[in-house]
Amino acid sequence: MATPENRRAHWRANLRLLATLLVIWAFVSFGCGIFLADTLDQVEFAGFKLGFWMAQQGSIYVFVGIIAYYVWRMNKLDREFDVHED
């Protein structure tokens, strides 16, 4: 059974994880897709300019990866703080 202290520590760890993943999301969607697109377009990837590819395809792959990582990490955090559901 989780104690109130464990729940608070779990929530803080969850917020840190969310903040980190949101920064990555913002960098990929705004940084690579908009702000750095001209710079990235100097490189070709799979026959397309990298800035265009990141805005159209790469960001989707990163977002799916973020979701998968979040699920994996939250399951680990739940067990670490003894708030898992089995």
Mean pLDDT by 10 residues, the chain (86 residues): 86 97 94 90 90 90 97 95 84
In sequence order, which residues have a C-beta less than 8 Å from that of residue 58 and are 6 or more positions away? Answer: 28, 32, 50
In sequence order, which residues have a C-beta less than 8 Å from that of residue 75 and are 6 or more positions away? Answer: 84
CA dist., res. 80 & res. 7, Å (int)? 11
The pLDDT assigned to 1 comes to: 65
The pLDDT assigned to 24 comes to: 96
